[in-house]
Structure 1
């Protein structure tokens, strides 16, 4: 995690237990019906059993706190093993599919759904959490183009969006059906694979 992601402030040594309680409180509030609107520093402090000053020593504002909390549960995608493009995309698709079963899957939908009301939060979430993950997929597709496995004219952004979109548009928190990730990757490869490959 970079210093910019967390925007930590100098002060007393951190209490890991307090930090964990703050993050969990933030995620619990974010996953609730009111979503982003329900996350306030006061509500987080009350739920975590800490003072507001404890939160402000670690994060300068609500947006920084939410992005940090989301980053703790949406880990970077694994570095693919470097086999074929299909193998690497499947590895990534399965990793993304496994995340859907996590307790806080709804948090991400609530942030995306409130992008219009909270554009700064969404932009920061996209920059700090989402784009590094998309970079991993982009790199696999770029390698596929260079190696002749994928079409030379492939628009990498379209390829990334096709993979991510097909895995993320299903009901939040619901596990993907068996074989779904394989079907998505195979369908994608049929469309973007190099002719004759």
Structure 2
């Protein structure tokens, strides 16, 4: 006679992609409507998504893990440089800064700054989203040095800040409404290249 312990276990319910989507969407909707990261609760997300809290906890270890996935979704897929031209690759990466297909990003991303500045956990969350993007730009600049296109003595980290800053201030704060946002990535890259191109 076979004991129940020896009997094969039936598989659990398959994870619902629809529930995953509803939870991520609810998180982004609540942030876009003005909920701060600190005030955002699993209870509120569950209510908006139409699921139980247990459903969320089965998928994510906690709020930070859920936020990370939601904000990664908001940022979209990383731009992938073609590797043929350092200038073209930099224009691609600079053009992706602060550019989001999801209209909620314009409401959510500027609100992250206070949370990032107040909380070490939120700072780490932000860095985990931005770090891969920063690494891509770092690799393009280092490739430019290796190929002799860029000066060997450039400060790669400062150069990344020079390339990134103008796009962030323009797209997040609309610093100068007279600037042509479509042309700005090329103009920024060309201006910086003037100072770092190999002579």
Mapped partners of 1:155, 1:167: distance in 2: 20
| TM-score, structure 2 as length reference | 0.82
| Structure 1 residue corresponding to 2:187, chosen from 174, 183, 192 | 183
Alignment match, 2:51:
50
Q: Tell me, which stretches of 5 or more residues in structure 2 are unaligned?
A: 1-11
Task: Write out aligned runs for 1:26-65 (5 A).
Answer: 26-65=27-66
Show the counterpart of 1:156.
Answer: 156
Q: List runs of 5+ in structure 1 lacking aligned partners.
A: 1-10
* Count, aligned residues: 183
Partner of 1:3: none
CA contact (8 A) 1:22 1:48 kept: yes
Shift of 1:73: 2.3
Is residue 171 of structure 2 the alignment partner of residue 167 of structure 1?
Answer: no
Alignment CA distance shift 1:71-1:97 (3 Å): closer
- After superposition, where does 1:72-151 map in structure 2 within 5 Å? 72-96=73-97, 98-99=99-100, 102-105=102-105, 106-127=107-128, 129-151=129-151
Structure exhibiting the larger radius of gyration computed from Cα positions: 2
The CA distance in 2 between the partners of 1:35 and 1:88, in whole Å, is 35
CA distance in 2, matches of 1:39, 1:55: 14
CA distance in 2, matches of 1:91, 1:172: 18
Aligned to 2:5: none
Query: Do 1:25 and 1:48's aligned partners in 2 also have CA atoms closer than 8 Å?
Result: yes
* Kept after mapping to 2: 8 A contact 1:35/1:107: no
Comparing 32-41 and 169-178, the one that deviates more? 169-178
Q: What is the RMSD of the two structures over their aligned residues, measured on CA atoms?
A: 2.2
More moved, 32-41 vs 67-76:
32-41
After TM superposition, give the deviation of residue 36 of structure 1 in Å: 1.1
